[in-house]
């Protein structure tokens, strides 16, 4: 724990509170939107616009953070916007206002992501990147455990009172904003004031980025195209006749495993290598999807979601640590913002592709196809140089 600085703890608590607020609403968001007149199509359009906004803005604000040499203001503004969006969803029920509130939430994510991850990178050294990013993911995911549990508890006593839940979610959001005020910027070199930043800065950085970065991100983006929404995994469980409470319980169990393993897996990655742990994560992912194609019992699903939690712990934070180790320190926010932005955009066709295969050929085919595709990616990543050996410009 000695490598976890005060700043790492503050950022981790901010993420815990924010994810608690967001995941408190995750199980009820589609139900609430339908209750105020949203069709399934309109919900899909809403989420698509919101995620695209977040995706495109991550590279832009990451570049702004690098140019200005500032991190904390982007983190504060980003988390504040996400907090404010929660009660807005309850107060304004007209579709246009709901679109605005949801977009503000995702826009906040776009503003803060690159700067936040750059701070985490600055607080670590190359040999400790895995544990620092892993600890942050652990705390973030703990919020994904506590949020749904609090929502289930509230709805048990106040069934269908979704609007009040949005106001309750504002409380942890405020705690996150308060904690962000404790952040202090370190001195960073600023870049020329006349430098202009395009909203599509992600594509500009791609042209000038290191070759090792391009090769890594290409592999990560291909993986994104096959990494569809977890909703499909939950839908498969539901289709076998398992009741709703068990389905939600398995989802919470997955997040708990993720939270518990992210930090120790990060420590292991620092010892064994980021690349090796990431590849193990991909193998677990392919194993889970292959297992989902043939499983029918709740205990089999529970075991698969246990492995799925370890997969998440071995890839999410590890990928960002890998990126920060092979890019110039002055471009950290831009590099991570560009990757996460392109990842957000790539995740949109991912679920559509899985849904199409499921619709045409069945669930088993969709899961087997995903497992096969990711298994081939293991070969690709195995051929990449380890972060410790990759060129660092």
* Per-residue pLDDT reduced to its tens digit, 265-305: 999 999 999 999 999 999 999 999 999 999 888 889 999 99
What tokens were used for 372? 């096969």
Q: Is the pLDDT of residue 187 over 80?
A: no
CB 374 within 8 A of CB 285: yes
3-class secondary structure per residue, the chain: CCCCCHHHHHHHHHHHHHHHHHHHHCCCHHHHHHHCCCCHHHHHHHHHHHHHHHHHHHHHHHHHHHHHCCCHHHHHHHHHHHHHHHHHHHHCCCHHHHHHHHHHHHHHHHHHHHHHHHHHHHCCCHHHHHHHHHHHHHHHHHHHHHHHHHHHHHHHHCCCCHHHHHHHHHHHHHHHHHHHCCCCCCCCCCCCCCCCCCCCHHHHHHHHCCHHHHHHHHHHHHHHHHCCCCHHHHHHHHHCCCCHHHHHHHHHHHHHHHHHHHHHHHHHHHHHCHHHHHHHHHHHHHHHHHHHHHCCCHHHHHHHHHHHHHHHHCCHHHHHHHHHHCCCHHHHHHHHHHHHHHHHHHHHHHHHHHHHHHHHHCHHHHHHHHHHHHHHHHHHHHCCCCCCCCCCC
Q: Is the pLDDT confidence value at 24 over 70?
A: yes
Q: Which pLDDT value is given to residue 393?
A: 40
Between CA 290 and CA 352 the distance in angstroms is 19
Number of domains within the chain? 1
Percent of the chain with pLDDT over 90: 38
For residue 234, give every residue at least 6 positions away whose Cβ sits within 8 Å of its Cβ, in sequence order, or none.
247, 250, 251
189 assigned to some structural domain: no
Q: Give the pair of three-digit tokens for residue 55.
A: 């995706």
Question: Which pLDDT score, from 0 to 100, does residue 192 have?
Answer: 55
With respect to residue 159, please indicate whether it lies within any of the assigned structural domains: yes
Question: 144 in a domain, yes or no?
Answer: yes
Q: Does 143 map to a domain?
A: yes
- Residue 194: inside a domain: no
pTM: 0.79
Residues 337-361 pLDDT 10s: 888 878 877 777 777 788 888 888 8
Classify residue 116: in a domain, yes or no.
yes
pLDDT at 93: 72
Give per-residue pLDDT as tens, 109-137. 889 988 998 899 888 888 888 899 899 99
Question: What's the pLDDT score for residue 391?
Answer: 41
Most confident of 84-98, 123-137, 239-253: 123-137
Residue 222 sits in a domain whose CATH number is 1.20.1250.20
Q: Which is more confident, 240 or 221? A: 221
Task: Identify whether 139 is part of a domain.
Answer: yes
Average pLDDT value for the chain: 84
Residue 208 is predicted with a pLDDT of: 81
- pLDDT of 157 over the 60 cut: yes
Q: Which domain holds residue 307?
A: 6-182+201-382
Q: What is residue 202's predicted lDDT score, i.e. its pLDDT?
A: 55
| pLDDT value of residue 392 | 41
More confident: 3 or 9: 9
Closest CA to 78 of 315, 313, 337: 337
Residue 389 lies in a domain: no
């Amino acid at each position: 724990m000695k490598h976890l600085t005060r700043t790492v703890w503050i950022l981790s608590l901010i993420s815990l509170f924010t994810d608690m607020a967001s995941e408190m609403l995750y199980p009820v968001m589609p139900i609430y939107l339908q209750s105020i007149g949203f069709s399934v199509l309109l919900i899909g359009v809403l989420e698509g616009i919101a995620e695209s906004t977040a995706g495109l803005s991550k590279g832009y604000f990451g570049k702004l953070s690098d140019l200005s040499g500032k991190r904390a203001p982007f983190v504060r503004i980003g988390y504040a916007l996400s907090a404010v969006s929660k009660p807005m969803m309850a107060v304004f029920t007209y579709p246009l206002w709901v679109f605005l509130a949801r977009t503000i939430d995702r826009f906040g994510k776009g503003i803060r992501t690159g700067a936040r991850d750059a701070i985490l990178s600055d607080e670590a050294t190359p040999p400790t990147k895995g544990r620092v990013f892993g600890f942050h993911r652990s705390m973030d995911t703990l919020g994904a455990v506590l949020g749904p549990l609090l929502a289930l508890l509230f709805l048990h006593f106040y069934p269908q009172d979704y609007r009040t839940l949005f106001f309750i979610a504002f409380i942890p959001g405020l705690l996150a904003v308060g904690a962000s005020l404790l952040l202090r910027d370190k001195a960073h070199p600023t870049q020329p004031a006349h430098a202009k930043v395009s909203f599509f800065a992600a594509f500009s950085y791609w042209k000038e980025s290191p070759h090792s970065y391009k090769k890594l991100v290409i592999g990560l983006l291909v993986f994104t195209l096959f990494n569809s929404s977890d909703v499909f995994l939950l839908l498969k469980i539901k289709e076998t006749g398992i009741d709703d409470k068990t389905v939600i319980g398995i989802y919470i169990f997955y997040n708990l495993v993720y939270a518990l393993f992210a930090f120790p897996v990060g420590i292991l990655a620092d010892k064994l290598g980021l690349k090796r742990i990431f590849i193990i994560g991909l193998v677990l992912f392919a194993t889970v999807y292959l297992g989902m194609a043939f499983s029918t019992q709740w205990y089999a699903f529970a075991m698969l979601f246990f492995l799925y939690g370890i997969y998440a712990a071995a890839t999410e934070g590890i990928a960002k640590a890998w990126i920060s180790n092979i890019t110039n320190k002055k471009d950290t926010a831009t590099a991570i913002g560009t990757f996460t932005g392109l990842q957000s955009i790539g995740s949109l066709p991912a679920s559509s592709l899985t849904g199409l295969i499921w619709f045409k050929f069945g669930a088993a085919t969709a899961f087997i196809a995903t497992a096969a595709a990711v298994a081939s990616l293991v070969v690709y990543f195995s051929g990449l140089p380890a972060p410790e050996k990759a060129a660092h410009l």
